[in-house]
Structure 1
Amino acid sequence: MGTIIVSENVSLDGVIEDATGDEGLGRGNWFSQTSDRDREEWAKLEFEEALAAEALLMGRRTYHWFIARGWAARSDAWAERLRDLPKYVVSSSPVEGWSNATVLTVDEVAALKERVDGEIVVYGSGRLVHTLIERDLVDELRLTTYPIVVGAGARVFGETSAAKPMRLVDARTVGDGLAFLTYRKA
């Protein structure tokens, strides 16, 4: 049985939107307001996570974000690993870019957990993450927390119909200033 792991870059106030400034929302580019060492150590962490994954699950917009930034054509080891992983995209329309991407509906995610043996990692995909949390499909949250209060923007957590208890299982520093927090469903 698969384990759905949400892996997010978040600000101190939980913002996930416009981390690189590409979306032009006026408060972006907080991702790069860290040291080179922080970014290098973060990249190592993300690569290790990709090596441990059996599949990627993402929303349509995040999938297109990866394609638009050339991940399907990059030749480094991290990009090659992402390219090799099966990708499941929650969308109501077809997607192009990676040859091993399968479109599914959010109602099919529970069945995906039954089919995949291992970690199913979710990058970005804010709206999808909200839905997965609401449906109690998220087994683990991995939050790389950046030392900045953005003050506005879409947040990793939205309203839910009930409390969703989680248990802290790991907390460590990445680089000099990033906090990496891992929570599992309680």
Structure 2
Amino acid sequence: MRTFKLQVQMSVDGYMSGPNGEMDWLTYPEGEDISAYTTGLAERVDTIVLGRKLAEGFIPHWAAGPEDEPKEAVDQINRAHKVVISRTLTASPWENTVIEGGDLTETVTRLKERAGGDLIVYGGGTLVAELIARQLIDELHVFVNPVALGGGMPVFGGPGAYRGFRLVDARPFACGITALRLEPKRS
């Protein structure tokens, strides 16, 4: 069965965006050490899962071939099959992308059972929280930025959303970000 990974940026107090969706708190510039980590993380990935809101910016951004991104990353992301989870879209406006709007657990189970490489989800926030709550993620790669936001969109669904994880690895990078590789403790 394919591995379903999460890669997400997070503040030290657990938010993936600020109170108004701000992302200006992300730690930049990232160095070669973190770039090598994310390249390794994506090496076996052939399918990217996204929420609709994130997909609307993510897919066109990468399709345009951004010059400030490594060419191999641009090519890998554009080559990957994309699945957009949406309750409102019925057809994909993007190449190499399908829309899935049915039951989330059934959709992810079906994707994981197909032949192919690993799957990765980058967001959005509502989708990530739901995937974690349903214990559908196999590996969490949480990039903890050295900043506290005090509020915003939580990675782990907010108060009362207790989940147990096993720390597999913790890797600090020169830019100040620490990557935590976690696996869920299954109930």
TM-score strictly above 0.5: yes
CA distance in 2, matches of 1:163, 1:151: 19
Matched, 1:74 2:65: yes
Q: Residue 61 of structure 1: which of 53, 60, 66 is its match?
A: 53
SS at match of 2:56: helix
Residues 78 and 136 of structure 1: CA distance in aligned 2, closer, same or farther (over 3 Å): same
Paired-residue identity, %: 31
Equivalent residue letter for 1:3: T
State the partner residue of 1:101.
Answer: 97
| Kept in 2: contact 1:30–1:148 (CA 8 A) | yes
| Kept in 2: contact 1:16–1:124 (CA 8 A) | no
Task: Give the CA RMSD over aligned residues.
Answer: 2.4
Distance apart, 1:25 and its partner CA: 3.0
SS at match of 2:83: strand
Give the unaligned 5+ runs of structure 2.
none
| Kept in 1: contact 2:14–2:156 (CA 8 A) | yes
Matched, 1:29 2:24: yes
Distance apart, 1:116 and its partner CA: 4.2
CA distance in 1, matches of 2:23, 2:53: 17
| Kept in 2: contact 1:57–1:87 (CA 8 A) | yes
SS at match of 1:2: coil
CA distance in 2, matches of 1:161, 1:101: 34
1:123-175 CA distance string (max 9 Å, x none) = 02211111112222111110011000011210101158874321000001122
The aligned length equals: 176
State the partner residue of 2:109.
Answer: 110
CA distance in 2, matches of 1:27, 1:100: 29
